[in-house]
Structure 1
Amino acid sequence: MAADHDDDVPRRPSGAHQESGEAPAAGGGRHGGHGRPRGPRERWRAFRTSPFLPAVVILLIVAAGAGLFAGSYTYNMANPTPRRIPAAVVGDATAPSAAAFTDGLERALATSLVLHAYPSRAAARHAVEEQRVFAVVDFRTAGGRTAVRLDVASAAGQSVAQVLASAAPKAARAVRVPLELGDLKPLQRGDPRGLALFYITLAAVILGFVGAIQLSVNARRLLPFERVLAIAANSLLGGFTIAAVVDWWLGALRLPFVQSWLILALTMFTSAMVFTMFNTLFGRWALLPTWGLMVLLGNPSSGGAVSWPLLPSALGRIGQWLPPGASVNAQHTAVYFKDAQHVFPYLVLLLWAVPSTAVFWIWRHRHPGGRELGGRTPPAHAADSGAAA
């Protein structure tokens, strides 16, 4: 039957298009548009509509990001230099030998010590617990001679304690003053360099916004409140896993488990909601401001790998107001200074988490995801934006 049907179809005679006045096919006999070289504007127009433009943009962004990433971490961490180190002083700091030791210590450190006088060692130790000072310098005078005891606090800042413990013997030998070294807040045995808290905070920050990215790509149809609940659940589970691995499995740190877990969970939630806010505002480019804020700026200035007195002064102050720095601060206090808890780092995390959530909720219609309650999918452009993010 197919053959019979084909026979019934009228066939067009050869050359009919010429008889009917139709234009010949492009390229047939006459030069088409491709025969003329394209000008710069046409080439640029073709490039803009090709898949090569976004590829080139991504290449340039990644190259710039790689340089900024390496530069940020190298500038802040490769050669930490003391700026101003707060220290407690007990005893007569104006005695000639004491003043000579202090001057020699400042020259050896190439910085200035911000000395705070306290009436007793107990008061000075309390200042260490409050994390107002990083060391205690105790001048003791007997028989007309001055001896010095320097107590650092490694848990408050291992890098600061290290430079102080290295420079103090040189200063004491130069002025011929007996020196005794001590550590009021030693680090735990499983974390001799004091980096474990920085690493768990880094994991919480990065996995927080990576989890939000994955939800945007693979669970884009979540309603706004479902997205917030999913981020909260991911944060609680992720924070628990980080704390359990570091404490129970590796034994690197003895954590106040519930408190450290909740700090990690709040850190992950904050990081995720910051990305979600940027995804609402900037769509597919949301990773750029998130990475810049959390990784390029926040982590190097957090005080976890290099203590704030050794960071450039502006970064040291800024870092305390960013989520990574607040998380490191909260963990340090929870693990090593539990008798002197501070509310400030928790407020900083909340000051990022709450407004980010509010921005997402207010402009949730702009977020590249969601669905209507009737089960219909969102418009195609919203889904495409979510996949690109």
Structure 2
Amino acid sequence: MTVVQRAVGVGIAAVVFQGVMLIAFAWPASNVEPRDLPVAVAGPQADAVAALLSQRAPGAFEVTVVADAERARGLIADREVYGAIVTGAVGGGGGSGDKAQVLVASAAGPAVAQQLTRVAGQLSGVPEAAVEDVVASDPDDPNGGGFAAMVLPLVVSSLAAGYLLALAVPSIGARMVGLAIYAFGAGLSSAVVVRGWLSLAPGSYLALAAVIGLISMSVSATIVAAGTVAGRIGLGVAGFTFLLLGNPLSGASTGSEMLPQPWGSVGQLLPPGAGASLLRSVMFFDGAAAGVPFTVLLVWVTTALTMLTLLALAGAMHHLARNSSQVPELVAAE
């Protein structure tokens, strides 16, 4: 292949990559709308409002009818629903118990809170309702933009760490040491930035550091394992998966149920999506609904480290067998 042919190939590949990038990031963002979004409806007109939701927006909401506002608040705090519509009394007597409410959790996703508020206001038979933010975003990040923006840097820096270890460190054992140091340091330092300097994260510093470290390890260890097994092809496939699928499908700014399906669900099986969900649970919901995303990240980490360990053991056994086979030759030569 001549230099000119190589340049043409690189140019075409870059054009294709740019197109894929545009589709990967712009398509999910331009198709944000509720899809089986878990919400609750409470109050004396709950059944009627639930039926109305199903009629006006088929497939948009997964409605749970509960007895009262307190039960709805409990479901929101446990991350079983994103919000609730609390209906007023039929006829409305003017008392505080007659008024309708919209309960939201901006910490679970500001886009979802806005969507639910808008839908509640459009429902006929529901009086103009007061909005209560049951689990609010951090006061220094009321729109959730800072939270959404911090997921991509965590993933990109972890990709870079994985690539550097895979390409610059020849020993598998040394790569694993580098991964441990990176994950530990990334968790502690990033938590200082996010919680201390930027004030984006309430809650425990150590819990936040542990989650960030787990996210960092899941991405970087998978990159190193992919590169160790399949070389540059493995590095490319893993990086493509995390950057061009994982990030736009993470639901960090919208919630996975607001993305086109099944892609929203697929995103929750990748480290960026699972990491964003785990961060929300730990930062704002006292760990509620943290089990699934934690398990997803743990599977990625365990799989990658197991692969690296087995490859290291296989390499050590091969080296030992080769050395032992050379011993008789040396003895015979003497």
Task: Give the TM-score taking structure 1 as reference length.
Answer: 0.72
Aligned-partner residue type, residue 155 of structure 2: V
Aligned to 2:66: 118
Whole-Å Cα distance in 1 between the matches of residues 7 and 310 of structure 2?
33
Tell me, yes or no, if structure 1 residue 207 matches structure 2 residue 184. Answer: no
Aligned to 1:163: 115
Aligned to 2:45: 93
CA contact (8 A) 1:201 1:264 kept: no
Tell me, yes or no, if structure 1 residue 103 matches structure 2 residue 52. Answer: yes
The one of 196, 202, 210 equivalent to 1:262 is 210
Divergent runs of 4+, >6 A: none
Aligned CA distance change for structure 1 residues 94 and 119 (closer, same or farther; 3 Å): closer
Whole-Å Cα distance in 2 between the matches of residues 339 and 347 of structure 1?
13
Alignment of 1:146-157 (within 5 A): 147-157=99-109
Q: Which of 247-256 and 357-366 deviates more?
A: 357-366
Q: Which of 317-326 and 81-90 deviates more?
A: 81-90
Aligned to 1:220: 169
Tell me, yes or no, if structure 1 residue 322 matches structure 2 residue 270. Answer: yes
Q: Percent identity?
A: 24
Aligned to 1:61: 13
Aligned to 1:196: 146
SS of alignment partner, residue 150 of structure 1: strand
Q: How many residues align?
A: 313
SS of alignment partner, residue 63 of structure 2: strand
Report the alpha carbon displacement of residue 233 of structure 1 after superposing the two structures with TM. 0.4
Aligned to 1:80: 32
Show structure 1 runs of 5+ residues with no match.
1-46, 374-389
Aligned CA distance change for structure 1 residues 134 and 284 (closer, same or farther; 3 Å): same
Aligned-partner residue type, residue 150 of structure 2: I
SS of alignment partner, residue 89 of structure 2: strand
Report the alpha carbon displacement of residue 312 of structure 1 after superposing the two structures with TM. 0.7
Q: Which of 130-139 and 285-294 deviates more?
A: 285-294
CA contact (8 A) 2:102 2:129 kept: yes
User: What is the RMSD computed on CA atoms of the aligned residues?
Assistant: 2.8
Of the two, which has the highest radius of gyration? Answer: 1
Whole-Å Cα distance in 2 between the matches of residues 191 and 153 of structure 1?
14
Identify the structure with the greater helix proportion. 2
Aligned-partner residue type, residue 119 of structure 1: A
Aligned CA distance change for structure 1 residues 241 and 339 (closer, same or farther; 3 Å): closer
SS of alignment partner, residue 163 of structure 2: helix
SS of alignment partner, residue 137 of structure 1: strand
Whole-Å Cα distance in 2 between the matches of residues 52 and 362 of structure 1?
43
Whole-Å Cα distance in 1 between the matches of residues 89 and 66 of structure 2?
16
